[in-house]
Structure formats: structure tokens, C-alpha cells
Amino acid sequence: MHETRSHETTSIEPGTKGETPARRPARRRRIDMRALSPFIALAVLLVLGAFTSPVFLSVENLTNVATRASFIAIIAVGATFVIAAGGLDLSVGSMAALTAGVMILAMNAVGGADVSTIAIGMAVALGVALACGLFNGLVVTFGRIEPFIVTLGGMGIYRALVVFLAAGGTITMTDWDLRETYRPIYFGDVLGVPIPVIVFLVVAAVAAVVLYKTPFGRHVVAIGSNEDVARFSGVPIRRVRTLTYVIQGLCVGIAILVYVPRLGSATPTTGLLWELQAITAVVIGGTALKGGTPFVWGTVVGALILELVANIMVLSDFVSEYLVGAVQGAIIIIAMLVQRSLQRGR
Amino acid sequence: MRKLAITALAATGVAFGGAALAQDQNYTIGVSIPAATHGWTGGVVFHAEEAAQMLEEAYPGLDVIVQTSPDAPSQASAIEDLAAQGLDALVILPFNSDELTGPVGALAGRDPDLFVTVVDRGLADPSIQDLYVAGDNPGFGRVAGEYFAQNLDDGAQVVVLRGIPTVIDDERNEAFRAALDGSGVEIVDSQYANWNRDDAFRVMQDFLSKHDRIDAVWASDDDMALGVIEAIRQAEREDIRFVVGGAGMKQMVQRVMDGDPMIPVDVSYPPAMIATAMAVTAGSFYSQAPVRGTYVLDAELITQENADRFFFEDSPF
């Protein structure tokens, strides 16, 4: 972990490794490869896709894919905080479904096709997601329970609440005009860039600033790298760790703001397995599961890679529908192997 | 629901003409079904509860206990608990065939008089059940396929969205393909979308990028059809003539009823089959009419003319 710490975070490193100046140039080069490797994997995938299908590189297809990747990208940015601090959140998929369900119910209850109805819905969504995140965080830190267990519990609770609210059916926006008012948030664009893409770029940019340029960000990395050292250095462990889950909640809330206008509904299967996709995106992006060294932009690229792999599978004609899952899995593993070998090669 | 239950009750009333004579007898029917985890099972729960109420009103002395379970192991415990209350009949929609065959078999073995009704997913050992009520999965695919064959021209291009890789999905899909045989309608692509709206949206977006011409879509499920429709709308494509889903979700039946040109028909796979099973089971106690056997409910083509028969205002599905 320490050997591969990125340059952005070296300021908090207490210099305990005692590395010699002579080794520095080699180290810096390796660090660059680590940050770059997700982008290289993305480029390789784009080339592969271009060979697979003539429509792959069309603007229409690429904007479709980038827009679809936005939910996982935004959620995975939040997961980058949690994982960098040595935690884990398995509840994000269920949390997303619950947030979407409550948001739609709130908008249906308020009624009217005005922008104000959507604003209320958005506030409710962010509130629900923040509350879920805070709950996860507090139980992990003050309850001193493994995050795996806490968020697995959260996963069950939030999912059951959606099922309960929907009575097993579907929660749908009832006001057709309101749907039309809200629809552009997913389907609209600014100068050709889809709004969800703008949202995830902004979220990632803000996250990068928070992680790399603020004391809070340095605390997150310090806890993830070595909790004991961080504690002795006076880092407020519980507060920082709880906040990472709150940030995760916030990101789920934001993702839902662009998710709901797409289909205008939430079902008990909404957000199923999103937690695994988010974690995979984070890991593909170069952030280690054991904590420390967050790569926000790598995470975003990881989310894009996941969606691109699925896209290539559908566009290609030579993979049977029965084998899609296997080929998808293989591509992800190969991408990771390529990345790792790039990091090792000096 | 109301209408169907009345139809069902009327049917049992006719079939079991002697009902009035025997109504003072006391019987208990336990109904074990999966908890509402997605739209279709939500419908099952709703129809089971409605049917329980109606049957108790129709047959004084009859007690119907409806129990939902979140997974297969708890369903196995739930039927034990039901049996402890002294059941005369068990109506069960099992989570899966293999895991529940043992527990139901054990129950039936202990009490030879117990009347066992199995719904939708058959047990691995059919000798356990007295009555089996199910939907017609091959029919589900065939009815849709026949509609495509009749309403599309020779050389028309169709894409197919499949559910989750299961026997049910295979049966439906094979029957759909068989129905298209010789019609000149061609299936140009097919992918799994897991009976999920978001996955269907994703797959359909990619189909639209990949194929310049798509004449019709067999979404094979109403949830998936909704995702498909949104993707088509975004792409602003005019070539797709219609989308056919399946199951009979309220919103989709509504669109068929309203004459939506994109959704001209739907194919039924009614969650209300649980009510059929309960009504026939109750009938077995209050008449001499033979009821043991297998009942396969038709997969019906829902059209604008008959849609009101499939629309249940209060159902969540």
C-alpha cells in the first residue's frame, strides 16, 4: 500500500518508510502507471469495440453508454470514499431503490406538474439517501460492527422497505405531465453532452478536490492506510469514517435524481447488484479494496468500462447470448491483469 | 379481481351444485405463497387474499389461512406451522420445485387425508399433489409468436428480449420461435434482460444502435416492455411497429385497452391462478364433483376487446 501511494496523498505520509532519494524516480514512474492504467484499459476496450461493430464508435452509441454509466459512476465515486477509508458499503443498490421509491411517492403526493414538485422530490430523495448513509455510518463506527455486516443488514432493510412501499408491484410517477417536465434530466443534453454525464463529471471533480485537497480527504486516506497511525496522529476516526458513509448516501441520492426521470418508476428489482458494480468500478479504477490510495477519475473510468463491456456484448454477433456473462467476466479480469502488469513493469 | 373471483366462484358453484347441502361442515385451507418480491408475486399475494375472503363468505365453516414467505427455507417452515393448525388442504405456490418437494412430501406422508394443491411451479415428485394449477409457458410464447406471424410481413425483422436463463424462459422462447417458423418473420437478435426494466432499456438501446431496421419487439414481459418503449422513444425511431410484453401488468393492460398503437396486445400469465387453485380446492370439500388433476390455464391474447377482463384496478400488479 505505502509503496504505491499516489503523489496527491504523499503530504500526509509521515515518511516512515525512510526511502532513499535514489529510489524516488522509479517510484514516481510506477505511480503514474497506476493512475494511468484504467485509462489505458479504456482505450484498449474502445479499440476492441471498434473492431466488433461499425456502430460502436458512433456518437449516438457512445453517448448512450456514457449516460447509462452515470448512475454507477456517481455511486462508485461515493464508494471510493468508503473504500479508501477501509470500509465497504453493500447497501447502495437497495438504498437507491428505496430512495427512488420514496422520491416518486413524495412527488405523487405533492402533485402538480411544476418544477417545484420536482424540487420537493429531489429534496426528499437526498434526505432519504443521506439518512440511510448516516445510519450505516453510525452503526459501523459507534456500534463497532464490521461494515460488511452492517451494510448487508442495510441492504436487506432498504430493499424490504421498497417492496413494502410498492406492495410487491411498481411505484410509478402518476402525473404524465410531471414525467415530461422531469424527463430531460436524463434524456436532455447541454451542447451535445447528456446531462447525466455532466452530473457525474461534476460529482467526480468535486470528489477529487475533497479527497486530494482538503484535510478531510487526507484523513480518509490516513484511516484507510493505517488506522492505528491515524488514531495516534489525532485523526477523528469515527467522524471521518461516518462522513464517508454519509457521502456515499449523498452520491446515491444524486444518482437517483438522474435515474428517476429515465423510466419514471421504481420496482423491487431497481438497483439490484448495483453495489457489486460500484465496487468493481472502484477496483478497476485502481483503488485497493483494503483501503488507502483513492483514484476518483479511475473509478469513473471503471464505471464506463463496465458499461462498455456490456455494450460490446450486445453489439457483437459472435458471442452467444448464453455466454455473455462469461465473456464479460473474462474481459474484466483481463483488464485487471493488464493493469497490474503495467504497474509492476518499471 | 372481483370479476374473476366471481367468475371462478360461479364456475365452482355450477360444478359443485351440492355446495349448499354441505355448507355447515368445517374445513381449513392453508395457502403458502412467496412474499411479494416483484410485480408478479405482488399480484399473487393480492389475489390470494381477495380469494380467501370471498371463499370464506361463500362457504360458511371454511377457514382460509394465507401465509407469505420470503424464501424457500422459510416457506418450508411456514407449511409446517400451517400444518400444526390442523389443515384439510394445502395450496402452495413453491419458491422452487426441488427444495420444497421434500417438506411438502413429508407433510402429505404424515397426513394421508391432506389435500395438496400445487400452483405454477410443479414439485419434483408429482405423485404428492392432488391438484396442479399452472400457467401455460409454451403457450405464452406461442400466442405471441402467432400474433407476430399474422401481423408482420414476410421478411420482417424482430428482436427478442429474454428473461432470466430458466426452464420457463426456454419453454416460452422455443415456442415463440416455433410459431414463427415458415412465416418469413426473422429474429435478428436476442439477449437476456433479466425481466428487469433497466436492463431491457440498456439492451434495447444497443439493439437500436446495431440494427437499422426493427419491425417489432418481443419483450416477453411487461416490465421489460416498458424499458423497451422508453428506449425506442428516445431513439425517435419510426420503423418499430409494435412491442409485445407479457404477464398482464395493470399499466400495460390499460394501454392495450386505450388502443395504444405501440402496445396492440399483451399475453396473459395471470397471478390470479392462485385464486383458481383455491376455489377448486374449496370446491373439493363441498361437493362430490371430481377435481383431482392438472389444470393448465390458457395463455390468452389480451386485445382491446377483451382487456377489461384482465384489468384489476386494486391489484398492485
Neighbour tally for B170: CB within 10 Å = 15
Residue with cell string 358453484: B13
At which residue does the C-alpha cell 483501503 appear?
Answer: A291
Per-residue model confidence (pLDDT) at position A9: 42
CATH class, B137-267 region: alpha beta
ipTM of the complex: 0.79
- DSSP letters for B242-262: EEE--B--HHHHHHHHTT-TT
Task: Return the residue of A nearest to B226 by Cα.
Answer: A263
Residue B109: is its pLDDT beyond 50? yes
* Among candidates B39, B165, B209 on the partner chain, residue whose Cβ is nearest the Cβ of A61: B209
The residues pairing with B160 across neighbouring beta strands, listed in sequence order, are B190, B218
| Regions of chain A with pLDDT less than 70 | 1-32, 168, 339, 342-346
B297 half-sphere exposure, CB direction, 13 A CA radius: 21
Contacts of B201 in chain A (CB under 8 A): 262-263
| Cβ separation B42–A310 shorter than 8 A | no
Report the C-alpha gap between B245 and B247 in whole angstroms: 7
- Check residue A149 and give its pLDDT: 94
Quickly state the pLDDT bin for B124 (edges 50, 70, 90): confident
Amino acid at A291: G
Q: What is d(CA A88, CA A84) in angstroms, rounded to the nearest whole number?
A: 9
Q: Would you identify the CATH topology of the domain B2-136+271-299?
A: Rossmann fold (3.40.50)
Subunit contact B196:A61, Cβ cutoff 8 A:
no
Work out the pLDDT band at B7, boundaries 50, 70, 90: very low
B234 touches A: beta carbon within 8 Å? yes
Identity of the residue in A64, A267, A324 whose CB atom sits nearest the CB atom of B39: A267
The domain containing residue A228 runs over which residues? 70-294
**How many domains does chain A fold into?**
1
- pLDDT of A345 reads 55
Query: Is the Cβ pair B210, A315 closer than 8 Å?
Result: yes
Q: What is the mean pLDDT of residues B39-53?
A: 89
The pLDDT of residue A114: 87
pLDDT at site A286:
86
Q: What pLDDT shows up at residue A344?
A: 65
Asked if B38 lies within 8 A of A269 by C-beta distance, the reply is yes
Per-residue confidence band for B215, with pLDDT thresholds at 50, 70 and 90: very high
Which of A283, A245, A234, A49 has its CA nearest to residue A154?
A245
> Which amino acid would we find at residue B39?
G
Residue A102 · residue A125 · CB < 8 Å? yes
**pLDDT at position A329:** 84
B162 CB-side CA count, 13 A: 23
Check CB contact under 8 Å for A272 and B196.
yes
A56 within domain boundaries: no
Residue B135 has pLDDT above 50, yes or no: yes
pLDDT of A20 reads: 43
Is residue A155 in a domain? yes
Assigned domain for A57 exists: no
Domain spans of chain B, in order of start? 2-136+271-299, 137-267
Picking from B42, B190, B207, the nearest residue to A167 by CB comes out as B42
pLDDT at B242 (0 to 100)? 95
Q: Does a structural domain hold residue A8? A: no
Question: What's the rounded Cα separation, in Å, for the pair B144 and B28?
Answer: 40
Same fold, B2-136+271-299 and B137-267: yes
What is the DSSP secondary-structure string of A180-221?
Answer: HHHTHHHH-EETTEEHHHHHHHHHHHHHHHHHHHSHHHHHHH
Q: How confident is the model at residue B208 (pLDDT cuts 50, 70, 90)?
A: very high
Taking an 8 Å cut-off on Cβ atoms, the answer to whether B226 and A321 are in contact is no
Bridge partners of B134, per DSSP, are B296
Over residues B154-174, the pLDDT tens digits come to 999 999 999 888 778 889 999
Interface check for A167 against chain B (CB to CB < 8 A): the answer is yes
Helix axis angle, A237-263 relative to A215-225, nearest 10°? 110
- Number of inter-chain CB pairs under 8 A, A vs B: 96
In a domain, A47, yes or no: no
pLDDT at B316 over 90: no
Partner A contacted by B71 (CB < 8 A): no
Instruction: Characterise A175 by phi-psi region: left (phi > 0), alpha (psi -120 to 50), beta (else).
Output: beta
Nearest Cα of chain B lies from the Cα of A335 at a distance, in angstroms, of 23
Taking the Cβ of residue B226 and every Cβ of chain A, the question of whether any pair is shorter than 8 Å is answered with: yes
For residue B219, count other CB atoms closer than 10 A to its CB: 29
CA distance A112 to B229: 25
Best mutation target, A267, A318, A322, to test chain B (most B CBs within 10 A): A267
Alpha helices in B94-221 (DSSP H): 97-110, 137-151, 167-180, 197-210
pLDDT attached to residue A36: 82
B198 reaches A (C-beta below 8 A): yes
pLDDT (0 to 100) of residue B85: 85
- Report DSSP state, residue B1: -
Q: Which residue has the higher pLDDT, B144 or A334?
A: B144
Mutate to test the interface with A, among B210, B232, B258 (most CBs of A within 10 A): B210
Q: What is the pLDDT of residue A99?
A: 97
Does the residue A159 lie in any domain? yes
